[in-house]
Amino acid sequence: MPSNDIRDVYRQLVLKLEERSRLGGVMGVMHWDQEVIMPKGAADARAKQMAALAGVLHEKSINPRVGNLIDKLTASGTDEFTDAEWCNIREAKREFDLETKIPKELVQEIAELGSRGHQVWAKAREENRFEDFAPILERFISLKTKWAEHAFPDLEPYDANLDIFERGMTMERLSPIFDYLKIELVPLVRSINNSDRKPDDSFLEGDFPIDKQEALGNSISRDMGFNFDKGRMDVSVHPFCGGGHPTDVRITTRYRTNNFIESLFAVIHETGHGLYEQGRMEDSLDLPVSEPLTMAVHESQSLFWERMIAQGKSFSIRYIDKFREVFPGFLKVASADKLFKAINVCRPSFIRVEADELTYPIHIILRYEIEKAMFDGTLMVKDIPEVWNSKMEKYLGIKPSTDTLGVLQDVHWSGGAFGYFPSYTLGAMYACQFYNKMITDLKDVPGRIEQGDFACIRKWLNEKIHQQGRLYSPDQLAKKVTGKALEPGVFINYLKTKYNAIYGLN
């Protein structure tokens, strides 16, 4: 095909992709509105509006004309296109294939089970009745297995589910990584539990007016570089980062008056996500090439700021005076070192979202092992609570007294999101590996943090990760940034060094 013609085909595809991205942005704003300011009475109407819009988006994405454009472009094999343009074509093809390969009835059944599943799960969790939720879970595994056969016929069903969140990740790759983490972390958590040295974190409780927390969160988010001309911060039941566009990034937090750390760290976490969105490549904001790479890489950006920066000692040194100023009376006796230790207390608990840095991966590994076994048929749904509880006891030394505190705690399975959980820990590992490289690229990172000089850190992340969009696979990106593909040993070394020091082990 002559060069002008193939360029024209590409331009037509770009128009379709931009339209899709814009409609997706409308959905993002509607979702934010629903979670943040929508009156309760509008819930039903809003659900229908969003379903209607989802239908429009689906119709557009299975349009055979789009398939035609993609076919022409992939068949051309031309060297006309830049890497970024090829990336847009590749991403369009992945999306189109996924949307068109699944029979319509299956898509509908999954959507319906998702909305019913959520209600059944919420009630079952409240009433501690796993048996009410079990049939939904059984049906979902069967539907998601069928879905996998259509979506990725070459992959094992669970691998196909993983691929949606972390493309390229398979059980073959992930199981040895998680086994290694488990072998290292379970004994470490046990030694911490048995250690006599327990950092005091009782002084973190107090009375913290919400308006002051809000002002503090705002100013730290600003210090990190969040652009409030292209974003907002509000309140929702569960903190999230959403919005309609990289120029309209909405982050949220929630407040408790007896503790400000939880809310502040939610702000820092969501700001990390927000910086990724705001930092996308300027000339392709409405195209797939600029989109965040995967769930795990997104999480690496929030955890980079939350764990690697804000849970480090330099951050406590930087902000302790500010905290004292905002909350007079608070931390009168505490030093930056005590504050650092208090926000890094390791304490096994039942609930994943409340877990600390060290026990969090264990919560994830437990879920991964259970999901894997559900899909390969070695674990029956009715036996999940028992397996869950015995793993909790074996790995963390605690056994939940109810399923509400155990298998029923997470929302993910009620919507059929299997294969999602590993992203959290993969993200933590990437964050650690990126940080390790950053401190060799930039001089005196701890000193810079103590000075509040976050611009160089943000710039480093922006160049190395945000601006790379979807040009590379996660492993290629890790290699490009750090010289190595994902290396779990870096994460384990970091955790051991940090927590051995805090708890005086070895």
**Which residues are known catalytic residues?**
270
Contact 461, 309 (CB under 8 A): no
Q: Note whether 192 and 358 are within 8 A (CB).
A: yes
Residue 183: phi, psi to the nearest 5?
A: -60, -35
What's the rounded Cα separation, in Å, for the pair 278 and 244?
11
Give dist(CA 43, CA 40) in Å, integer: 6
Read off the amino acid at residue 220.
I
Toward Zn ion, which CB reaches closer, 253 or 302? 302
Structure tokens at 254: 């929630």
Q: Which residues bind Zn ion (CB under 5 A)?
A: 302
Beta-carbon contacts of residue 470 (< 8 Å; ≥ 6 apart): 87, 91, 288, 289, 290, 291, 293
Pick 302 or 409: Cβ nearer Zn ion:
302
**Rounded least distance, CB 44 to Zn ion, Å:** 29
Closer residue to Zn ion (CB): 395 or 424:
424
- Residue closest to Zn ion, measured at CB: 302
Q: Dihedral sign, CA of 472, 476, 478, 480?
A: negative
Residue 431 and residue 153 in contact, taking contact as beta carbons nearer than 8 Å: no
- Spell out the residues 6+ positions from residue 303 whose beta carbon is closer than 8 angstroms to its own: 269, 272, 427, 428, 431
Query: Do residues 287 and 19 lie in contact, with contact meaning Cβ atoms separated by under 8 Å?
Result: no
- Closest contact distance (angstroms) between CB of 240 and Zn ion is 8
DSSP 421: T
Strand 248-253: give its sheet, edge to edge.
231-235, 248-253, 241-245
Smallest distance, Zn ion to C-beta of residue 310, A: 14
Least spacing, CB of residue 272 vs Zn ion, in Å: 8
Q: CB 255 → Zn ion: shortest distance, Å?
A: 18
The residue (of 161 and 302) whose beta carbon lies closer to Zn ion is: 302
Neighbouring CB atoms inside 10 A of 176's CB total: 11
Dist. CA 433–CA 168, nearest whole Å: 19
Between residues 307 and 391, which has the closer beta carbon with respect to Zn ion? 307
Supply the minimum distance, in Å, between the C-beta of residue 379 and Zn ion: 28
Q: Measure the CA–CA gap between 333 and 202, rounded to whole angstroms.
A: 12
Closest separation in Å from C-beta 241 to Zn ion: 7
Query: How many Å apart are CA 221 and CA 215, to the nearest integer?
Result: 10
For residues 136 and 112, the answer to whether their CB atoms sit within 8 Å is: no
User: Angle between the 422-441 and 157-165 helix axes, to the nearest 10 degrees?
Assistant: 50
Nearer Cβ to Zn ion (159/277)? 277
* CB closer to Zn ion, 302 vs 311: 302
In this complex, which beta carbon is closest to Zn ion, that of residue 302 or of residue 414? 302
Identity of the residue, 302 or 316, whose beta carbon is nearer to Zn ion in the bound complex? 302
What is the closest distance, in whole angstroms, from the C-beta atom of residue 363 to Zn ion in the complex? 15
- DSSP designation for 307: I
Contacts (Cβ under 8 Å, ≥6 apart) of 422: 162, 165, 166, 169, 174, 178, 296, 364, 368
The least distance separating Zn ion from the CB of residue 270, rounded to whole angstroms, comes to 7
Q: Which residue is listed with tokens 């994405």?
A: 61
